[in-house]
Chains A and B, each alone.
Chain A
Amino acid sequence: MLNIQLTVNGELHTILIDPAETLLHVLREKLGLTGTKEGCGEGDCGACTILVNGKSVNSCIYPAIQADGCEILTVEGVEKNPKLARIQQAFVDHGAVQCGFCSPGMIMATCALLDENPTPTDEEIRRGLSGNLCRCTGYQAMVDAVKSLI
């Protein structure tokens, strides 16, 4: 076991972890941040997407130890940032939230996408979201939601 330091949604935490522990496990089980979901646990679905120092990662395969000293943004932190909270509202208003299980990951992927490229084309939006599976929407509503923000 060892200690790491994480700044999660602006708050600094010192956390005792197992060296093999994933960042997703730390967030959900140690910090109680259950907004980040686990859809596969193998890096294939994007439900666990969060931002580490501004870059989107699949937290289910990201070793927590590697995040020592990093800034983490999860869906719970998005709401507190009015600029990013617009993404959440746009998702709801355009019907991009159905069952909602993919939504936290999709919204984090959208944060990363718009940060890197504030005016993406349809194709770039689809590419930007292609690491995140959604079984409910057929993705059209997400593309519409992201387009409404640019």
Chain B
Amino acid sequence: MKQYVGEKRGRLEGLDKATGRALYAGDYRMENMLELVLVRSTISHGSVRSIDVSALPEDVMVFTGKDCAENIVADIFCDTPVFAGERILYLGEPIAVVAADTREKAEAAAKLVKVEYDLLPVVRDVEDAKNPAMPVLHGESNLLTDFFNEKGNVEKGFAESYLIVEDDFETPPQDHGYMEPDACFAYVEDDRLMAYTSSQNVFADRVMICRALGLTPEQVRVRAAFVGGGFGGKDGHTCQIYPCLVSWLTKRPAKIVLDRREVLACTYKRHGIKMHVKMGFSKEGKMLAFDGSAVLDTGAYAGYGASVHGLFTEHFTGPYDIPNVRLKTETYYTNKATAHAMRGFGAPQGAFATESIISRAIARLGLDPIQMRLDNALEKGSTGSLGQPMDHCVGLKDALKLVQESDLWKERAANTDPYVGYGVAGGFLSCGLGQKITDNAKVSVQEREDGGFDIGVGLVDIGQGSGTALAAMAADLLETDIENIHMVMADTDKTEDCGPTAASRSVFIAGNALMAAVKQYKKAKEAAECGIVPAKGEAAFPESTMDMGRIGFPHAMYTFVAQAVKLRVDPVTGSVSLLDIAAATECGKVINPLGLSGQIQGGIGMSIGFCLGEDCSFKDGVLVHKDFSTYLMPTAMDVPNIASYHVDAYEVSGPMGVKGAAEVSTVSIAAAINEAVRQASGAELNKLPLSPEEILKALESREE
């Protein structure tokens, strides 16, 4: 029998997408459909005094919070209104939605809605948020959450250190940059509300829709349309409630598609973070002490801010065995678009700071950058920065060795160009939702009349390829051709709640549930001897054995990377050209090497943007770079050749040996680039995106 697991394979639905047949939410349309445009606030902080819609043409409708059964978005904190009114907390917050039979008409009408405001001072950043003279955005203070922990004795660790390196670092917010703008299409059929969403969790969509509209789950069916990327940004409240509300109230089909400027200005972001890192090293380069503090800017609403805070903290030290660790982190609300989950979940920001410090220490101690990291790397049996046990498969050393053996790294010694630099960094990322969060899945296996199988999984394949990976696993488990496997995914009528497509959990959790379902199917099949038997299987994500009393961290398992870059700085302009990248990943058993390489290369592309171009900062609550001509995501010319190396590993708790992989790719490259820039120019940079002016200044002072 042919084995599919381990084989290179393009997306099963690839041709549907490549031919344009695949329908994304914005591609749906129906007779008599309404198109929607949001009326958004033009202030960052204050309240609505009045809304005047008298100038609107008669064939246009307007809906506000009064039309909702409950003007609340059901999520973890339930602090976000569907429509803002009493309180506006960021520029571009939805106030009303306009519906017309064309988008052009709706757009024109939205501009005729007159809103008057009462203004409040804008909480621009964390400094403002901490200032007692500034307004409080939620509850009693602007602090969303904080954390303090000390493992070992940090002062003693520093006292024993031969070298101490410390500095301040800053990373700006980043936009997810998914190419498909947020969208949703809804219609009413047989008294039920039907929605196609561009989302990472159709079951959470249904909860949100039901609460805002006052419906029962039976009254609503949510299906994921083809999703044009999410990266965390579609795991929450995007725009799915608006067409559902309008469609339910008018009984007409309704569609919303955000435009790119709305997406950039108003949707979720990666957290901007200010950090201070101090590390102590022995003469041989052993990491003896780590003292890290940070403030995260979470914007207007909680979103996943508390979870990102937890993961940022958990990953701040990097994947190293450090005996003495002190962590102090705080997350504050400000008047900006909400910061939320984004691929890497806080880890890339911390890695930029910590790995930069490590690289500078290596340079001062005259050590080998890979050997020094090998000497400090976590391994199975060691403990993490919080004291959590590393009981699973820990392959950082193998990943580092693969980079050491790569062509990129081997040619390093022969380089003679003074403007060329080489940098490397390690990284890790947890898999699963973490301590005390329900993290399970139910998968169904249903034999079909044609001899094939329907595999029901309530997760969304947002483009990362979980459907293709699970189909390969199902084909092997059921001993059949992959053509006989039909994936039925993300449909609240046809699949069971499997939680979010997030936390690098999909293939792990659904794979384990799939294995249980296949086992159940085989047993039933034997007992029944003939006929078609349905079967279901369940699985839960393993939890860390360490409980700190916190929700969401620590985790039971991590995925590891080592990433190296070769680049050249331009002595005239200070700009950086990336020449080559070698990336090694240990994520347990590799189901589809082509799929994994794609996840790694894509995540690296995203973090090249984070490092060199994408600046999503807000000035007085207003986004500075408002469109794709100024918010610069990498093009094919900015990203070099990326070789993806995979450690051959096996995680016993994972299905067929798997761990998660989709996010860890984003963690390390920014720090590797920063180190290579330091070598090539002498610039020790602490702020992203890296500034060509600073690089030029460093080059000039080096040449003097």
Which residue numbers of A lie inside 8 Å of B, CB to CB? 32-42, 44-45, 47, 74-76, 78-79, 88-89, 91-95, 97-104, 107, 122, 125-127, 129-143
Contact = CB atoms under 8 A, between A and B. Distances in A.
Contacts of A103: 17-18
A35, A92, A129, A143: residue with the most chain B Cβ atoms closer than 10 Å:
A92
B20 interface: yes
Contacts of B637: 126-127, 130
Contact of B260 (A39, A102, A132, A141): A39
Nearest to A47: B179
Interface of B: 10-11, 13-24, 26-27, 29, 176-181, 226-229, 231, 257, 259-260, 462-465, 594-595, 597-598, 600-606, 627-629, 633, 635-637, 639, 641-642
Nearest to A108: B20
A107 B14 CA distance: 13
Contact of B20 (A104, A129, A136): A104
Contact of A99 (B15, B463, B605, B639): B463
Contacts of B627: 40, 42, 44
A127 B628 CA distance: 18
B540 to A, nearest CB: 29
Contacts of A74: 20
Contacts of A143: 636, 641
Q: Return the 6 tightest CB-CB contacts between A and B, nearest first.
A: A35-B20, A99-B463, A100-B17, A101-B228, A138-B605, A92-B14
A131 B629 CA distance: 11
B226 A142 contact: no
B18 A101 contact: no
A95 B179 contact: no
Given A35-B21, A95-B594, A130-B635, A140 B15 contact: no
A98 B47 CA distance: 42
Contact of A136 (B21, B602, B641, B642): B602
A63 to B, nearest CB: 15
B15 A141 contact: no
A142 B21 CA distance: 20
B605 to A, nearest CB: 3
Nearest to A125: B636
Given A99-B229, A101-B179, A75 B10 contact: no
A99 B260 contact: no
Contacts of B259: 41
A101 B24 contact: yes
B641 A100 contact: no
B359 to A, nearest CB: 23
Name the residue in B19, B463, B600 with the highest tally of chain A Cβ atoms < 10 Å from its Cβ: B19
Given A88-B15, A126-B637, A138-B642, A100 B226 contact: yes
Contacts of A33: 20
A45 B628 CA distance: 7
Nearest to A85: B19
Nearest to A94: B10
Contacts of A39: 179-181, 260, 628
B17 A97 contact: yes
Given A99-B462, A103-B18, A92 B635 contact: no
Given A135-B606, A139-B605, A76 B180 contact: no
Nearest to B630: A44
Contact of B463 (A36, A44, A98, A107): A98
A79 B594 CA distance: 24
Nearest to B102: A29
A126 to B, nearest CB: 4
A98 B22 CA distance: 12
Contacts of B641: 122, 140, 143
A92 B13 CA distance: 9
Given A35-B19, A44-B629, A104-B20, 14 more contacts: A37-B180, A39-B181, A40-B628, A44-B627, A88-B18, A91-B14, A94-B594, A99-B462, A99-B464, A100-B11, A101-B180, A127-B636, A132-B635, A140-B601
24 contacts: A37-B228, A39-B179, A45-B628, A76-B20, A88-B19, A97-B11, A98-B11, A98-B465, A98-B598, A101-B463, A103-B18, A127-B637, A130-B636, A133-B179, A134-B636, A135-B176, A135-B179, A135-B602, A136-B463, A136-B602, A138-B601, A138-B604, A138-B606, A139-B601
A39 B264 CA distance: 12
A92 B18 contact: yes
A2 to B, nearest CB: 17
A89 B642 contact: no
A100 B21 CA distance: 11
Contact of A142 (B178, B260, B594, B636): B636
A64 to B, nearest CB: 14
A39 B633 CA distance: 13
Contacts of B15: 88-89, 92
A111 to B, nearest CB: 12
Given A42-B628, A133-B635, A136-B463, A141 B17 contact: no
Given A138-B639, A142-B636, A99 B10 contact: no
A135 B19 contact: no
Given A41-B259, A97-B14, A100-B463, A141 B180 contact: no
A91 B595 CA distance: 13
A127 B259 CA distance: 27
A140 B462 contact: no
Contacts of A78: 19
A99 B259 CA distance: 19
B636 A37 contact: no
B18 A137 contact: no
A126 B635 CA distance: 8
Interface hub of A107, A134, A141 (most chain B Cβ within 10 A):
A134
Nearest to A36: B20
A138 B603 contact: yes
Nearest to A92: B14
A3 to B, nearest CB: 19
Nearest to A87: B18
A77 B137 CA distance: 53
B628 A99 contact: no
Of A37, A78, A125, most B-chain CB atoms within 10 Å:
A37
B20 A140 contact: no
B260 A42 contact: yes
